């Protein structure tokens, strides 16, 4: 595992480690990262996953940490190699593995040891259920991917890039590992307008995938600087309503810091980001 010290990495790793171990959630006793919680399947279906997809993955893979459905946007094909950044317990990777089939590969990368351990345990159940042996998981930061140049066809990610303290580095790594003509399909939270400093400084908000979100204009700039082309960003504000329950302590904590009459949805939205590497 490539590890560069950073307090944000430490905070995120600790929080997601607790979720993987079943020992709590990110932001208090009743809330969780990126909309995670008791209604994980309901959230996933609200974000565009089908009942058939959810039924096919191993139990314990869906931890309710999604803010979109990157595998749907990716239009994965048989034989492709797909990489998931921040793969967690393997939710999207197992769906992707079924789509690329026995001739393809599905690779997950996560910096949290507990998540990687959980994903690898789930992979055994996936192999037994499907007969597919095309999944692997690596322990590493997404700013320093443990993969060769031009080695994957598709990069996906689900509500993870906003947790990185160096998003430009992530985009450059995405471009590095993509083969010429390879594509990106990422679901993430992005900002419609700058957040108040009081919200940005809240650790709970950061781990809950809000304070680390980049402005739409910055996402465009980072992808272009990484050398990617054909950028498309589709915003889906309704996903925020599905993710943030008004009774969630995180929601109430942030509301206190926002201008009167405004909600998190006035600042942040779920976005499906797609682009490709020239070639």
Residue 58: the pLDDT is 81
Share of the chain above pLDDT 70, in %: 82
Find where tokens 């079924």 sit: 98
Would you give the DSSP letter of residue 246? Answer: T
Cβ neighbours of 261 (radius 10 Å):
6
Task: Give the pLDDT score at 213.
Answer: 86
pLDDT 10s digits, 120-134: 999 999 999 999 999
Please give the pLDDT value at position 269. Answer: 86
The Cα angle at residue 64 between residues 60 and 68, in degrees rounded to 5 = 125
Q: Tell me the pLDDT band of 268, cut-offs 50, 70 and 90.
A: confident
Cα-to-chain-centroid distance, residue 175: 17
Q: In this predicted structure, what is the pLDDT of residue 278?
A: 97
Give me the mean pLDDT over the 20-32 stretch. 49
User: Which has more pLDDT, 255 or 173?
Assistant: 173
Q: Evaluate if residue 27 carries a pLDDT over 70.
A: no
pLDDT at 257: 84
113-122 pLDDT tens trace: 999 999 999 9
Q: What is the pLDDT of residues 141-179, one digit of tens each?
A: 999 999 999 999 999 998 899 888 899 999 999 999 999
* CATH architecture, domain defined by 7-276: 3-Layer(aba) Sandwich (3.40)
219, 187 in Cβ contact below 8 A? no
Contact 193, 267 (CB under 8 A): yes
User: Which pLDDT does position 259 carry in this prediction?
Assistant: 86
Cα gap 19→160, rounded to integer Å:
15
| Contact criterion met (CB below 8 Å) for 91 and 114 | no
What per-residue confidence (pLDDT) applies to 61? 82
Beta bridge partners of 229: 276
Bigger pLDDT: 20 vs 126: 126
Q: Residue with structure tokens 């159940």? A: 125
Query: Residue 7: pLDDT above 70?
Result: no
Residues 252 and 169: their CA atoms lie apart, in Å, by 33
Instruction: With H, G, I as helix, E, B as strand and everything else as coil, classify residue 141.
Output: coil
pLDDT (average), residues 25-45: 53
Strand partners, 213: none
**DSSP string over 58-109:** PTT---S--SS-HHHHHT--TT-EEEEET-TTSHHHHHHHHHH-TTSEEEEE
For the segment 176-199, the average pLDDT, to the nearest whole number, is 91
pLDDT tens digit sequence for 41-89 = 777 776 677 787 777 788 878 776 667 777 876 789 999 999 999 998 8
What digits encode the pLDDT tens for the residues 213-237?
899 999 999 999 999 999 999 988 7
């Amino acid at each position: 595992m490539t590890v560069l010290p950073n307090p944000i990495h430490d905070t995120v790793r600790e929080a997601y480690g607790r979720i993987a171990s079943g020992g709590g959630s990110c932001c208090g006793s009743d809330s969780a990262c990126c909309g995670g919680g008791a209604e994980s399947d309901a959230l996933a279906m609200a974000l565009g996953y089908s009942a058939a997809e959810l039924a096919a993955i191993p139990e314990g893979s869906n931890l309710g940490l999604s803010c979109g459905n990157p595998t749907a946007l990716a239009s994965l094909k048989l034989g492709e190699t797909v990489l998931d950044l921040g793969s967690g317990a393997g939710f999207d990777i197992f769906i992707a593995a079924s789509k690329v089939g026995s001739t393809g590969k599905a690779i997950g990368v996560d910096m949290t040891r507990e998540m990687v351990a959980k994903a690898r345990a789930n992979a055994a159940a996936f192999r037994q259920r499907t007969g597919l042996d095309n999944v692997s998981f690596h322990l590493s930061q997404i700013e320093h991917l443990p993969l060769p140049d031009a080695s994957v066809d598709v990069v996906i990610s689900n509500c993870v890039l906003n947790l990185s303290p160096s998003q430009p580095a992530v985009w450059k790594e995405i471009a590095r590992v993509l083969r010429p003509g390879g594509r990106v399909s990422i679901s993430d939270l992005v900002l419609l307008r700058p957040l108040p400093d009081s919200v940005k400084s809240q650790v709970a908000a950061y781990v809950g995938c809000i304070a680390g979100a980049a402005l739409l204009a910055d996402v465009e700039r980072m992808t272009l600087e990484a050398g990617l082309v054909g950028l498309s960003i589709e915003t889906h504000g309704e996903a925020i309503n599905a993710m943030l329950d008004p009774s969630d302590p995180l929601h109430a904590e942030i509301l206190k810091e926002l201008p009167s009459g405004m909600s998190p949805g006035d600042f942040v939205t779920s976005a499906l980001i797609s682009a490709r590497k020239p070639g």
